[in-house]
Structure 1
């Protein structure tokens, strides 16, 4: 039984390893000639987080160091979410040659792009882990077991959400600009650099309640022990993830007949 299970998952693991290697090569090529290479990605994120935490920290209820970690966790997840949206508006339109050359199906192509996003997110996670181990080791604990279900949810939402975004932009080309601009507004409308815990009402209260991104940000912070575990956040995020997966699946089933350029 174990051997049968291994044979069933081995092709997917092999493809994932190959895609991660390709992602590394592509990321390295983007920083060709730079001494730090792919490390520029997490380094730039770290610098931006430091700036955000210094500028927007204004509450005595959260120490400066804790606010830095709060922003750090939120920002790297936000970058993953933003890339899922803005980086998926033209995948089918512009990555056909890559897919055909590598014998990829439509799901395979979107899986490859998902690995690209996970590679960047992983680099940021490594830098976050190093910072947390050195400066915030007292916060690391049993809450880390929540990372696996959290990771499964964001991977599923990113995969199906990316296809949904791409199909929408194919059917309605003007939505590409709407997605690009909308993500910029969503950054400020999400509790990335402002604390949702201090919100009791008003516009921020509405954004915290009705913005799905806020629940994913809250989950990420709960895995790091920054926020107390809240089951309702996970249930709402799970419902949002399920809705995205269903919508993405329906979009694929309804559109695969007119996307004939891929195997």
Structure 2
């Protein structure tokens, strides 16, 4: 057989019979069941990254602490904010953002970065998406150490009912039993990370221009998301004619703001709003529906595209 014919066979698309809803569903279910595989791969990613480091994965925590504290102190002066309440706000914002941006940016590399395994390991594609989510979850757990230290230091300020983050801002109820809502909130974020990795991973495997575009957009959206600034600044600091309701749309029309808020609000005792959960729930359903369609139509083509 000639080299040309062999190459044509490798690039040939899979038969149309591979496009079935049952096979797509089986891939997702079997991938979720193989916890030992994606759990081991995700943990190995962390160990490999810091294998020759003295303090190992603690660099994740240290870098997060330096970034959050440095920018928190800077922006607290720019916005004349209360450091004991503004610094935890920024710190938790960075921790949650790090997880979300990781799902978006690294999600585009889900299958490209696992080319060798995909071609030689007969495993469901969902395994590689869950590998990414698990790795980011481990990094999130490391970063939570920064949150614990910050909360312990400013405990009396964060548990005070009616505390303010910025001067003239909205009063917050303070940390209470609502902190338990952080558990289902993170679970919901992780579930969304799954469909993001699958959907964006398939699209990026086919169109290699997508990853740099996503990377640039995420950098832009960071400044448009209330991480180092609070939404009430839009209404109390920005002047303009007419009412102020339109200004809050700058934050409300940003989907990542709702993902951020369902987890940050309970962790630092901010006011909870049901509409954030509704928006995130809606995106979860639509996102997984799109990911399911992508798996049904292009799951068998990924090994030819990588």
Q: What's the TM-score bracket when you normalise by the shorter of the two chains?
A: 0.7 to 0.9
User: Given the superposition, is the C-alpha separation of residues 50 and 130 from structure 1 closer, same or farther in structure 2, using an over 3 Å criterion?
Assistant: closer
Q: Secondary structure at the match of 1:92?
A: coil
The equivalent residue for 1:245 is 288
Q: Which runs of 5+ in 1 are unaligned?
A: 1-8
Question: Residue 146 of structure 1: which of 181, 191, 199 is its match?
Answer: 181
Compared with structure 1, are the counterparts of its residues 142 and 86 closer, same or farther at alpha carbon in structure 2 (3 Å cutoff)? same
Answering whether residue 136 of structure 2 is matched by residue 136 of structure 1, we say no
Name whichever structure is richer in helix by fraction: 1
Larger radius of gyration: 2
Aligned counterpart, 1:172: 207
Conserved? CA contact 2:175–2:270, under 8 Å: no
1:92 is aligned to 111
Give, in angstroms, the shift of residue 252 of structure 1. 1.3
Aligned alpha-carbon RMSD (Å): 2.6
Q: Which residue of 1 aligns with 2:194?
A: 159
The 1:219–1:65 alpha-carbon spacing in structure 2 relative to 1, beyond 3 Å, is same
- Aligned partner of 1:6 in structure 2 is none
| 1:192-211 correspondence runs (5 A) | 192-200=227-235, 201=244, 205-211=248-254
Is contact 1:88-1:166 (8 Å) kept? Answer: yes
Displacement of 1:18 after TM fit? 5.6
Query: Tell me, which stretches of 5 or more residues in structure 2 are unaligned?
Result: 1-28, 160-173, 236-243
Give the distance between the partners of 1:92 and 1:17, measured in 2 at CA. 19
* Aligned length, in residue pairs: 251
Which consecutive segments of 4 or more residues in structure 1 shift more than 6 A? none
Counterpart among 209, 213, 222 of residue 265 in structure 2: 222
**TM-score normalised by length of structure 2:** 0.73
Q: Distance in 2 between matches of 1:56 and 1:131?
A: 17
Distance change in 2, residues 1:203/1:194 (3 Å): farther
Q: Distance in 2 between matches of 1:259 and 1:163?
A: 11
Aligned to 1:254: 297
Which residue does the alignment assign to 1:5?
A: none
